């Protein structure tokens, strides 16, 4: 038997591959030296590329002005003084008797103005320190001022005291529209107590129009956003059910009622306006039959679900917050429809205003709402518009302007109201911007994976420097300049906060899967 003779048939298949495997391996594998080189290549590769990898994936975290933000947080909003120009008609003060010095008008106004200022400071001093607030205005006697107070000699004025201050709605020779006017009848000028009456009227007017305490932004009002859409909708409950309203003079109504309100607000809000008529806006409930007399009543519970989600109120063409003003025309089957409350209008917080309008029962099929018919609802809308945007209404101590008594149209928004709106929104925006900046600093410090790129850092720096500019606007006595800084600061802070580079991670942090719950059986 040869050595190579396989012991059995199966053995040959064992031995032959073991020999040829070595040969195959030798053929495939490179020589040992070459293998070592290849093996070394990997660590080398890693060594060379690691810095690049690190550079490419390292988290960019630019430093933030944390100390400046902390200083802003600690600082209070600067107190800005509004200048009020104080003027009077030449005949508003009595001429002194022969031989007594007649001081120039300006001197008389200055003496009176100082007494008024002292009077208001006296009223404030009587209040408890915590509630006192600070006087936010000063009287000046020449130069430019956003606000104006004027003593007007007026033959049409009430001849009996007390004097009745009002905010003018028409520009006259000596007084611009929006001035606080103290009307005095020529027969009153010789009154011995005239100066005291002036002082009372001025204190009453100025102190109530510009109270020391700012109203906050109430819950029913929109938080500040620069762009707001006003949507006016005429809703027919069911046009197919007998008579309905087919059209309205909405453009004229807007021109008469809303333009005088929104035009002066241009420094604060950009309004866009849309309107539409709906022919089928059914109620989701059946109103109660009225207890006394014919018709239907909507109770307080039904009021809460009055506006149905199925009405297509919004055009959906805007990302702005929308305030809706709805004129609701009940179907023929539900007329007359009234609220259980005294008026037929209600405000829905942060949403809008609703007015019920029952057409006259004269059997007509289709109605067109003229300006006459719309004056009532739109006057109501303006009142609710004030509520929804936190605009102060005319205080009771200030009378209605004589020229406005007549058609039911609210007085145009006056510079006095704008001053309060600017300050209210300044306070709101400043607080919001500081809060956002401070929470970003805390968040970024806490989450080490969070990036701070140049884009985010620059927005934060921008917001900080706007806020740091506020004290200078106080020195310039400009609530308007201060408001603009606060508006831009909050916009920049929000842009930084909602920057995609930060948001991605925030989303991850907020939505990281929580540890699975151990089911307890
Ligand atoms: C004039 O003032 C008196 C007293 O305040 C008041 O009763 C009266 O109604 C006023 N007259 C006019 C026309 O406003
Ligand atoms: C407001 O509208 C203007 C255009 O009128 C637009 O440039 C701006 O981005 C809008 N701002 C917001 C916060 O929507
Ligand atoms: C309104 O928009 C214009 C231009 O789109 C802008 O210049 C202005 O500052 C805006 N006003 C407010 C209050 O945001």
For residue 490, which ligand has an atom nearest its CA? 2
By alpha-carbon position, which residue is closest to atom 7 of ligand 1?
160
* Residue with CA closest to ligand 2 atom 12: 227
The sign of the torsion formed by the CA atoms of 168, 171, 177, 183 equals negative
347 and 232 within one domain: yes
Measured in Å, residue 158 CA sits from the centre of ligand 1 at 6
* Residue from 222, 223, 224, 226 to probe ligand 2 pocket by mutation (most atoms less than 8 Å from CB): 226
Alpha-carbon separation of residue 222 from 185, 423, 498 (angstroms):
43, 16, 21
Same-domain status, 374 and 246? yes
Ligand 3 atom with the smallest distance to the CA of 226 is 14
Looking at ligand 2, which residue's alpha carbon is closest to its atom 4? 227
> pLDDT (tens digit, 0 to 9) for every residue of the chain, 521 residues total?
444 444 444 434 444 444 566 666 666 666 677 777 767 766 666 666 666 666 556 667 888 888 999 999 998 888 899 999 999 999 999 988 888 888 999 999 999 999 999 999 999 999 888 778 889 999 999 998 989 999 999 999 999 999 999 999 988 777 889 999 999 999 999 999 999 999 999 999 999 999 998 878 999 999 999 999 999 999 999 988 888 999 999 999 999 999 999 999 999 999 999 999 999 999 888 888 888 778 898 888 888 899 888 888 877 778 899 999 999 999 988 888 988 888 899 999 999 999 999 988 777 788 999 999 999 999 999 999 999 999 999 999 999 888 766 778 888 999 999 999 999 999 999 999 999 999 999 988 888 777 788 889 999 999 999 999 999 998 888 999 999 999 999 999 999 998 887 766 655 554 444 433 333 33
**Nearest-CA residue for atom 13 of ligand 1:** 158
Task: Give the tokens for residue 205.
Answer: 């007017």
Name which residue sits closest to atom 4 of ligand 1, judged by CA. 160
**Residue 396: C-alpha distances to residues 161, 164, 167, 193 (Å):** 17, 11, 12, 24
- Atom 1, ligand 3: which residue's CA is nearest? 270
Q: Return the residue whose CA atom lies nearest to atom 3 of ligand 3.
A: 270
Same domain, 384 and 423: no
Cβ–Cβ < 8 Å for 195, 114: no
Q: What 3 state SS string does 120-140 have? A: HHHHHHHCCHHHHCCCCEEEE
Residues 282 and 338 reside in one and the same domain? yes
* Pair (422, 376) in one structural domain: no
**Residue 84 contacts residue 147 (beta carbons within 8 Å):** yes
Give the Cα separation of 519 and 521 in Å (integer). Answer: 6
- CA–CA gap between residue 18 and residue 341 (Å, rounded): 103
Residue whose CB lies within 8 A of the most ligand 1 atoms, among 157, 159, 160, 183, for a mutation test: 160
Residue 157 lies in a domain: yes
Q: 331 Cβ partners below 8 Å, 6+ apart?
A: 236, 237, 238, 241, 242, 244
Among 154, 158, 401, 404, which residue has the most ligand 1 atoms within 8 Å of its CB, making it the best to mutate?
Answer: 158
Ligand 2 atom closest to the CA of 320, numbered from 1: 14
Contact 434, 286 (CB under 8 A): no
Ligand 2 mean position, distance from CA 459 (Å): 17
Q: How far is the CA of 266 from the centre of ligand 2 (A)?
A: 13
| Residue 176 beta carbon below 6 angstroms from any ligand 2 atom | no
Answer whether residue 410 is part of any domain. Answer: no
Distance CA 479, CA 476 (A): 9
Taking CA atoms only, the protein residue closest to ligand 1 atom 3 is: 160
272 lines ligand 2 (CB under 6 A): no
Phi, psi of 152 (to 5 degrees): -110, 125
Residues 194 and 95 in one domain: yes
Q: Domain check: are 70 and 91 in the same one?
A: no
**209, 241, 266 - which closes a domain:** 209
Asked whether residue 40 is assigned to any structural domain, the reply reads no
Q: Decide: 107 and 88 in contact? Cβ < 8 Å.
A: no
In a domain, 306, yes or no: yes
One domain, residues 472 and 486? yes
**How many CA atoms does the CB half-sphere of 263 hold within 13 Å?**
10
Task: Say what the pLDDT of residue 477 is.
Answer: 86
Distance from C-alpha of 173 to C-alpha of 458, rounded to nearest angstrom: 51
Phi, psi of 35 (to 5 degrees): -65, -40
> What does the pLDDT read at residue 403?
74
Is the Cβ atom of 226 under 6 angstroms away from ligand 2? yes
Burial of 34 (0-12, 13-18, 19+ CB in 10 A): exposed
Ligand 1 atom with the smallest distance to the CA of 162 is: 5
Ligand 2 centroid, distance to 280 Cα (angstroms): 33
Which bound ligand lies closest to the C-alpha atom of 157?
1
32 assigned to some structural domain: no
137 and 163 Cβ atoms separated by less than 8 Å: no
Distance 169 CA to ligand 1 centre (A): 20
Question: How many alpha carbons lie under 13 Å from residue 81 in its C-beta half-sphere?
Answer: 12
Ligand closest to Cα of 422 equals: 3
485: in domain: yes
* Domains in the chain, number: 3
Ligand lying closest to the C-alpha of residue 185:
1
pTM, whole model, 2 decimals?
0.84
Q: Which of 164, 179, 209 is the last residue of a domain?
A: 209
- Reported in sequence order, the residue ranges of 210-336 that DSSP labels E, i.e. its strands, are 227-236, 244-248, 270-278, 288-289, 296-298, 322-329
Nearest-5° angle of CA 423, CA 427, CA 430? 130
Within a 10 A sphere around the Cβ of 65, how many other Cβ atoms? 18
Range of the domain at 291: 227-391
- What's the CA-to-centroid distance between 228 and ligand 2, angstroms? 10
User: 332 and 305 share a domain?
Assistant: yes
Q: Partners of 296 in the beta sheet?
A: 289, 337
User: Which atom of ligand 3 lies at the shortest distance from residue 266's CA?
Assistant: 13
Q: Do residue 92 and residue 154 come from a single domain? A: yes
Is there a domain that residue 396 lies in?
A: no
Task: Give bridge partners of residue 347 from the DSSP assignment.
Answer: 353
Among protein residues, the one with the nearest Cα to ligand 2's atom 3 is 227
Handedness of CA 384, 385, 390, 391 (dihedral sign): negative
List residues near ligand 1 (CB under 6 A): 158, 160
Whether 238 and 179 share a structural domain: no
Residue nearest to atom 9 of ligand 3 (CA): 267
For ligand 3, atom 10, the nearest C-alpha belongs to: 270
Distance in Å, CA 463 to ligand 1 centroid: 53
What is the best residue among 222, 224, 226, 266 to mutate for testing ligand 3's pocket, by most ligand atoms within 8 Å of CB? 226
State both tokens at 58. 């390292």
How far, in Å, from the CA of 266 to the mean position of ligand 3?
8
Q: 219 in a domain, yes or no? A: no
Q: For the chain, what is the radius of gyration of the CA atoms?
A: 38
Partnered with residue 399 across adjacent β-strands are 166
Clarify whether residues 257 and 293 are in a common domain: yes
């Amino acid at each position: 038997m040869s050595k190579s003779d396989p012991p059995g048939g199966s053995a040959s298949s064992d031995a032959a591959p073991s020999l040829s495997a070595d040969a195959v391996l030798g053929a495939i594998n490179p020589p040992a030296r070459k293998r070592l080189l290849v093996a070394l290549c990997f660590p080398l590769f890693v060594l060379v590329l690691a810095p690049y990898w690190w550079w490419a994936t390292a988290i960019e975290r630019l430093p933030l002005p944390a100390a400046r933000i902390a200083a802003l947080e600690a600082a209070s909003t600067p107190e800005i003084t509004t200048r009020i120009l104080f003027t009077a008609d030449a005949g508003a003060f009595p001429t002194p008797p022969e031989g007594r010095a007649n001081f120039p008008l300006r001197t008389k106004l200055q003496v009176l103005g100082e007494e008024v200022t002292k009077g208001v400071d006296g009223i404030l001093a009587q209040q408890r320190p915590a509630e006192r607030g600070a006087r936010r205005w000063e009287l000046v006697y020449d130069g430019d001022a956003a606000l104006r107070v004027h003593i007007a000699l007026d033959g049409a004025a009430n001849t009996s005291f007390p004097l009745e201050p009002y905010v003018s709605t028409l520009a006259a020779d000596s007084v611009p529209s929006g001035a606080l006017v103290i009307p005095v009848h020529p027969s009153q000028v010789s009154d011995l107590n005239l100066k005291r009456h002036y002082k009372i009227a001025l204190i009453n007017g100025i102190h109530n129009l510009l109270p020391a305490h700012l109203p906050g932004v109430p819950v029913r009002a929109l938080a500040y956003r620069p762009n707001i859409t006003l949507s006016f909708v005429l809703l027919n409950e069911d046009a197919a059910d007998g008579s309905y309203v087919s059209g309205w003079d909405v453009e004229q109504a807007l021109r008469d009622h809303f333009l005088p309100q929104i035009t002066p607000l241009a420094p604060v809000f950009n309004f866009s306006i849309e309107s539409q008529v709906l022919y089928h806006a059914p109620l989701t409930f059946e109103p109660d039959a009225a207890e006394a007399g014919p018709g239907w009543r909507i109770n307080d519970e039904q009021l809460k679900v009055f506006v149905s989600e199925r009405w297509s109120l919004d055009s959906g063409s805007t990302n702005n917050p929308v305030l809706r003003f709805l004129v609701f025309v009940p179907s023929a089957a539900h007329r007359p429809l009234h609220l259980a409350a005294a008026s037929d209008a209600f405000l829905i917080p942060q949403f809008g205003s609703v007015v019920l309008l029952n057409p006259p029962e004269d059997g007509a099929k289709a109605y067109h709402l003229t300006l006459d018919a719309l004056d009532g609802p739109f006057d109501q809308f303006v009142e609710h518009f004030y509520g929804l945007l936190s605009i102060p209404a005319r205080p009771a101590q200030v009378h209605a302007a004589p020229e406005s008594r007549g058609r039911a149209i609210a007085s145009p928004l006056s510079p006095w109201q704008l001053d309060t709106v600017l300050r209210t929104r300044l306070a709101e925006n400043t607080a919001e911007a500081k809060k956002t900046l401070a929470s970003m600093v805390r968040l970024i410090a806490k989450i080490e994976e969070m990036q701070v790129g140049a884009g985010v850092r620059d927005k934060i720096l921008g917001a900080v420097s706007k806020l740091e500019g506020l004290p200078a606007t106080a020195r310039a006595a400009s609530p308007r300049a201060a408001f603009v800084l606060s508006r831009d600061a909050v916009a920049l802070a929000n842009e930084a906060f909602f920057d995609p580079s930060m948001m991605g991670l925030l989303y991850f942090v907020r939505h990281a899967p929580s540890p699975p719950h151990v089911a307890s059986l």
